[in-house]
Amino acid sequence: MKNQRTLLFASLIAGGILITGCQDKSATETSTATSTAAVSKPAKTPADPALFIGQPLVTHMYTADPSAHVFNDKLYIYPSHDIETGVTTTGEGDKFDMKDFHVLSMDAVGGEVVDHGEALNLKDVPWASRQLWAPDAAEKNGKYFLYFPAKDKTDIFRIGVATSDSPTGPFKAEAEPIKGSFSIDPAVFKDDDGSHYMYFGGIWGGQLQRWATGTYQTEDVYPASNEPALSPKIARLSDDMLQFAEAPRDVKIIDGGGVPLLGTDTNRRFFEAAWIHKYNGKYYLSYSTGDTHYIAYAIGDNPYGPFTYKGIVLTPVLGWTSHHSIVQHQAKWYLFYHDSSLSGGDTHLRSVKVTELTHNDDGTINTIDSYLD
């Protein structure tokens, strides 16, 4: 199986290294609200299921970038919805041209997964032009908020918000994106005091490297080889959850000696897909390293960091991209992630999976391998 795994992964790297976007970058019940026109039913030949520790949560459509939350003791997963668009260009993640969001739910891991149908469509977002990439969700006072990146009419990524009275939607988008927002991959963390913080950002197709001066530049600007890597951003949300309550700031990721990770440290530095969970009073920042295909993590003492690099949550999966979330449900911790097994390895046609995650006595996380050896 190791040889099959190596061949699968090598072919993906060889064929997909330039496709950088969000990046490239069991039986299921489908709600009657599901739009059949919006679902690109998988028609590819899946990779051998015996290679992997987990199987897709749904198989009637392609899903990716899962943000999992527990609302009213039930698991809700907010993924992006991959579709086959026929796009042949490889620049800036153009193949990731998603147009809507669905919400999945289950009472417990291993139970029935329900697709609640279309929760938001690109055509109903007044300010957006294309590419509904990885979303997240939050709840406050019985109201639900869906946060999502999309390119505006000038092809700059912004972050929008839509609201609903139900965790499954449908969601109504605000007329404008969040003021001061940019780049991709919003992830909203609720702290013990009720404060909500958004983490966001992604390089390459996610455009974070074009905001180095504080304003958008059309040219990419990356750190020099001896300079710290670009950082994910954090901003506390306003009381109404619709805006930033402060200007976004850098989230520093440092090594054990307190030195910021360098941009050339591609096995450890941030690329995209920031996520926060809290365990035993510590804040865990996990994220994708992008072109080296790891989900890494770092630990800090407060939501703003700095976060000290600790190790790897998930080793490379089948496909170029890796994106995840970590959530506790019914006394266990789970890693939600995606790979490209359902499409047989097509990087832009992915499938959401879940596996149990464990913390060690010292607070470190046991590294997960998505393959069975």
Active site residues: 65, 272
Using omega within 30 degrees of 0 as the cis cutoff, is the peptide bond preceding 42 cis?
no
**CA 275, CA 260: separation in Å to the nearest integer?**
19
Half-sphere exposure of 215 (CA within 13 A, CB side): 0
CA distance 172 to 82: 21
Residues 326 and 275 sit within 8 Å (Cβ to Cβ): yes
Asked if residue 31 lies in contact with residue 115, where contact means CB atoms within 8 angstroms, the answer is yes
Contact call for residues 343 and 56 (beta carbons, < 8 A): no
**Amino acid at site 197:** Y
Mode of pairing for the β-strands spanning 74-82 and 136-140: unpaired
- Cβ partners under 8 Å of residue 346, min gap 6: 44, 319, 340
- Do 272 and 281 form a contact (C-beta atoms < 8 A)? no
